[in-house]
Amino acid sequence: MRWSNTSKPSLGGISFYISCLMSFMFYAIIFGETDVFQNKELLGFFTIITIAFLLGLSDDAYNIRPILKLIVQIGCGVVLIFTDNQIDLFQIEWLNNGLTVFWVVLIMNSINILDNMDSIATVSSIYIILTMIGMSLPFFCKDNVDFFLLMAILGSLSGFLIFNWNPSKMFMGDTRSQFLGVFLAYFSTKLLWNNGVNEGDYSILSNLTLVALTFTVPLVDTTFVVVRRVLRGDSPMKGGKDHTTHTLFYKGLTNRQVGFVFLLFGLASCLLALNVAKFIPVDSLVLILMWLYPILLLASAFILADGKNETDQSLKDDQETGNRTT
């Protein structure tokens, strides 16, 4: 559900998609990696970002049904499995495959849900990408296509933030959010879920902690929204002005101040995740303490939330006027 009632462009996601394709072209020219069709993992990546881009474009243009979106998102997860891009954290193959599909669907929807107020999804995605780049430095940069792709989208997000910061001139829209969701799901699987798996330097707790910290902002908001709607007897798919961002607004913050709050949350998540990746041993009990950060944020959101406010009326008004909800 759009927080602003003003009509603004939201079909600019094509710039993200083109930036991703062009970054690979530059990489291919510089390093001679020209035959992408022989690289099964990259082929899977380009397949899912194309599917997600077309899904978002269709949703922005025609407002497709949620069940169809879900089927396509599940399809993206299945493509990752068949192109050897699945999560490999556990010894049980079906558990890895199931978690891969669930993660893709979760993040594609979480980024879409987070796009409910100016700059929030953009800022959160920037910090997630910064975390994945930062934890892999300095060896990650040299002759690495992943670095080129991450930097391309980081640059696109930074440029888009100028127009998306409150008061925004442009919305993210499903074209961007669906692309970003599957893009982040792919790289988080590769760099966070499977961090250290090939080298044998990992633990399930350490990798789960790394994922939870990096994605604290979208996961907290999604959990907060879904739980509240289920408790009210509403469908989580319908949407409403009942996000963590709206809760802060109802408590007296302006839209811009909410943006700064989430900027700080993103920075904290980034720094904590980098500390887990760089300095905390994979078998350390300190990892358990790190979970206090997302848990406290989620608990704080519920404490701040009013039992009843203009959320319900806003949802009814939007449903009556036929506005699309997210």
Element (H, E) at 41: helix 40-62
Lowest mean pLDDT among 36-40, 116-120, 209-213: 36-40
> And the tokens for 165?
């910061």
Report CA 284 to chain centroid distance, whole Å.
28
**What SS3 state is found at 12?**
coil
Q: What mean pLDDT comes out for the span 20-39?
A: 78
Answer yes or no: is pLDDT of 111 > 90: yes
For the segment 231-245, the average pLDDT, to the nearest whole number, is 83
Q: Give the chain's mean pLDDT.
A: 86
pLDDT in tens, 259-294: 999 999 999 999 999 999 989 999 899 999 999 999
Residue 308 has pLDDT above 60, yes or no: no
Contacts of 138 (CB under 8 A, 6+ apart): none
* Joined tokens for residue 119: 């700059």
Coil vs helix vs strand at 235: coil
Domain ranges of the chain: 14-321
| Cβ atoms within 10 Å of 123's Cβ, excluding its own | 24
Look up residue 276 and give its amino acid.
Answer: V
One-letter amino acid at 83 equals: T
Query: 12-30 b/e with 16+ CB inside 10 Å = b?
Result: bbeebbebbeebbeebeee
Whether residue 325 is predicted with pLDDT greater than 50 in this model: the reply is no
With a cut of 60, say whether residue 85 has pLDDT above it: yes
Is the distance from CB of 71 to CB of 58 less than 8 angstroms?
A: no
Can you state the angle between helices 40-62 and 173-188, rounded to 10 degrees? 160
Residue 239 identity (one-letter amino acid):
G
**Interval 9-38 mean pLDDT:** 75
